[in-house]
Amino acid sequence: MARKALKLASWTSMALAASGVYLYSNKYLDPNDFGAVRVGRAVATTAVISYDYLTSLRSVPYGSEEYLQIRSKMLVQAVKQLFPEFEFMWLVDEAKKNLPLELDFLNEGKNAEKVAQMLKHFDFLKVPRIYWELSTKRVLLMEFVEGGQVNDRHYMERNEIDVNEISRHLGKMYSEMIFVNGFVHCDPHPGNVLVRKRPGTGKAEIVLLDHGLYQVLTEEFRLDYCHLWQSLIWTDMERVKKYSQRLGAGDLYPLFACMLTARSWDSVNRGISQAPVTSTEDLEIRSNAANYLPQISQLLNHVPRQMLLIFKTNDLLRSIEATLGTRASASSFLNMSRCCIRALAQHKKRNTHSFFRRTEISFSEAFSLWQIDLHELLLRVRGLRLASWVSALLSWLFAAPH
């Protein structure tokens, strides 16, 4: 019955399309009537697609992979004929392959709105708006936002966007998502993270795209992860061991710490915020990685599933930092520490009913944040002083002879 109806629709559409051609050729149809032209195009397209659908899928089992592939190709063909200006990019995520299309779109739209609300205090973040009134279960219409990819240094230089500022913004944004909110955009590859100068103000802005893959962290995991990073930043190796093991690392906690920080065990012991990654250390890490493949595999099988997406997110962010030349700066670690302090303080305040205890926690939080601010200020002063010494030395060495 369905095939008969489809066949009828196909022949009807073809008849209407032929009638349109006749009317146009005999000057009964005004070619400047955009509405008529658009309807005619739609009718003609419907005829072609209906006929293709009827002939191509006749012998293909409904719901099979071949059926879905043919249907997808025909959908693209239909949209291209109706909207020639459209550009198609197939973005298929392995984690979303088996998700029904309507749920995929619904989740993506809700995630975009949630993260925009969650990080609204960051004036450097832009999340494309969802046009719900123009969207359906199978079509998600979002605002189009232009920009360059976050790892495109040449684009930033041409548009006078500060690379270090973008790197700091990216670190703040993801630290907030991971440590404070526990709702993490887990696909920050360069195609999903754009940079631009905001129209009207000229301020640097990060645009976050593709909200289909998010990880919701449990509170227990999030708090343990906060404690672990605090311990790594402040080189508290006993607590590094404790919280690594709480996150499933067992006796492989040194390897776990190295994988999280992308630093050598020697650097972890000396303090990851003490010195940036050197080319020698990078080479050492790459060389040792192959030797530890069995242990890495064992570790990945024991950590919580949430950790796997966190690993992926961290690796993508580090790749961006490496391309920009801002990897593992002291300021990024300090921003992470700020978020950890805030997250742990919020948890403690939620779990006490005592006004005096909440006040004590707030004072302790403020004091810890002040210590980080002071430490960051000292680092900047030291950097400026070093820069002035180097400048004076160069001036003396290259001074013109009298």
Active-site residue set: 187
Q: How many CB atoms lie within 10 A of CB 399?
A: 8
Are 184 and 174 spatial neighbours (Cβ–Cβ below 8 Å)?
Answer: yes
Strand 204-208 relative to strand 125-126: parallel, antiparallel, unpaired?
A: parallel
Beta 148-149 vs 125-126: how paired, if at all? unpaired
Q: What is the side-by-side strand order in the sheet with 204-208?
A: 125-126, 204-208, 193-197, 148-149
70, 72, 74, 76 alpha-carbon torsion, rounded to 10°: -150
Report the chain's terminal Cα–Cα distance, integer Å: 101
User: What residue type is 339 in one-letter code?
Assistant: C
> Within a 10 A sphere around the Cβ of 361, how many other Cβ atoms?
19
CB distance 342 to 180 below 8 Å: yes
Cα separation, 330 vs 274, in Å, equals: 8
Burial (CB < 10 A; 0-12, 13-18, 19+), residue 245, is middle
Encoded amino acid at 160, one letter: E
- CB of 358 closer than 8 Å to CB of 251: no
Instruction: Please say whether the dihedral angle defined by the alpha carbons of residues 55, 58, 60 and 61, taken in this order, is positive or negative.
Output: positive
CB of 158 closer than 8 Å to CB of 316: no
Please answer whether residues 171 and 218 qualify as being in contact, where contact means their C-beta atoms are separated by less than 8 angstroms. Answer: no
Four-CA torsion 173, 178, 184, 190, nearest 10 degrees: 50
| Spatial distance between the Cα atoms of 20 and 39, rounded to a whole number of angstroms | 10
Which two three-digit tokens encode residue 262? 């992308």
From residue 314, how far is each of 30, 225, 320, 398 by CA, in Å? 59, 13, 10, 44
